[in-house]
Structure 1
Amino acid sequence: MSDTMPRGGTSTSTTVPRARPQEGSLVTEQGRTTIADGVVAKIAGLAAREVAGVFDMGGGTARALGAVRGMVGGDRNATQGVQVEVGERQAAIDLDLVVEYGAAIPDLAGAVRRNVIAAIERMTGLEVTEVNVTVNDVHLPEQPRGPDGSGQRESRVQ
């Protein structure tokens, strides 16, 4: 028996097949796909806003500027309250949220995180390494209207 043949008489190959790029990979032998930070930020912003309990996004100044921009241009900025860092294969996301009063913030943050990760990974193929959520404000329901509809309640004392 030859020392290149195992006991069973069959030949075994020591050549390992070349790994093929993962389906949907951004870096392949045929080229590279680059996804702009703004694309990832827009996906993250839209995915975060889909979660019930998220009232708005951004800090106070960003929301005020966004409201003015919305009145002038009629278009809300989907990236408001979103900061991203995008590499060749990974992305990290920071979100600033305004939540509805009564929402359980830890549960809401978890739901936002899951939705953002799923959307970015599905749409871009990037691995999301972290999603940091900062709650900047709580949106209170409208104050009860007074009997005259003015928004002022009746005085409790005379």
Structure 2
Amino acid sequence: MTTVNSGAGEIPGPPGAVPPGERGATRIADRVVAKIAGQAAREALGALPAEAAPPHANVAVHHDAARIRVHLELGYPADIGSHCRAVRHRVVERVGALVGYEVPEVAVQVERLHLPKAPGAAQGRTR
């Protein structure tokens, strides 16, 4: 049986266990962080207009810091500032919790505002 030093004394480990300092490293792909950020943005926004594309993100990771750009579409009228603030907060929280990266920058880009559809309104252009 091997033992692992936890700082609080020796803890017995399974036979053949590799000490923590010799186990290697975990690399998380940028696209995984981007998917987490996109999902966090969806959670922050709640219900979106039916014709709106779901939020998506682009990520640049350097060491343990992720710079994130989130693209989203909102309904009109909307309080754009509060939506962007909620998205930034949720993305920082979720990426930090799930991946352990610091998120020094979250840029939110509102790509489109969707008008509400009036009942019985004509589609497209009318004369």
Q: TM-score normalized by structure 1? A: 0.57
In the aligned structure 1, how far is the partner of 2:115 from the partner of 2:89? 25
The structure with the larger Rg is 1
Unaligned runs of at least 5 residues, structure 1: 1-19, 21-27, 64-77, 146-150, 153-158
What is the Cα deviation at residue 53 of structure 1? 5.9
In the aligned structure 2, how far is the partner of 1:54 from the partner of 1:37? 27
**1:120-145: CA deviation from partner (whole Å, max 9, x where unpaired):** 00000010110001111112111331
Query: What residue identity is the alignment partner of 1:123?
Result: L
The answer to whether the 8 Å contact 2:84/2:108 transfers is yes
SS in 2 for 1:35: coil
1:35 to 28, 44, 51: 28
What is the Cα deviation at residue 52 of structure 1? 2.9
Number of paired residues? Answer: 102
Q: TM-score normalized by structure 2? A: 0.69
SS in 1 for 2:44: coil
29 and 106 in structure 1: CA distance in 2 versus 1, 3 angstrom threshold: same
**1:55-93: CA deviation from partner (whole Å, max 9, x where unpaired):** 37xxx9xx5xxxxxxxxxxxxxx7x63110012211010
2:38 is matched with which residue?
A: 45
Runs of 4+ deviating beyond 4 Å: none
The answer to whether the 8 Å contact 1:93/1:132 transfers is yes
Equivalent runs, 1:3-152 vs 2, <5 Å: 29-30=21-22, 31-52=24-45, 55=48, 63=53, 81-145=56-120, 151-152=121-122
Query: What residue identity is the alignment partner of 1:33?
Result: T
**1:102-124: CA deviation from partner (whole Å, max 9, x where unpaired):** 22111110000000010000000
SS in 2 for 1:29: helix
Percent sequence identity is 40
Unaligned runs of at least 5 residues, structure 2: 1-6, 8-19, 123-127
What is the Cα deviation at residue 54 of structure 1? 6.7
Structure number having the greater strand percentage? 2
CA RMSD in angstroms comes to 2.7
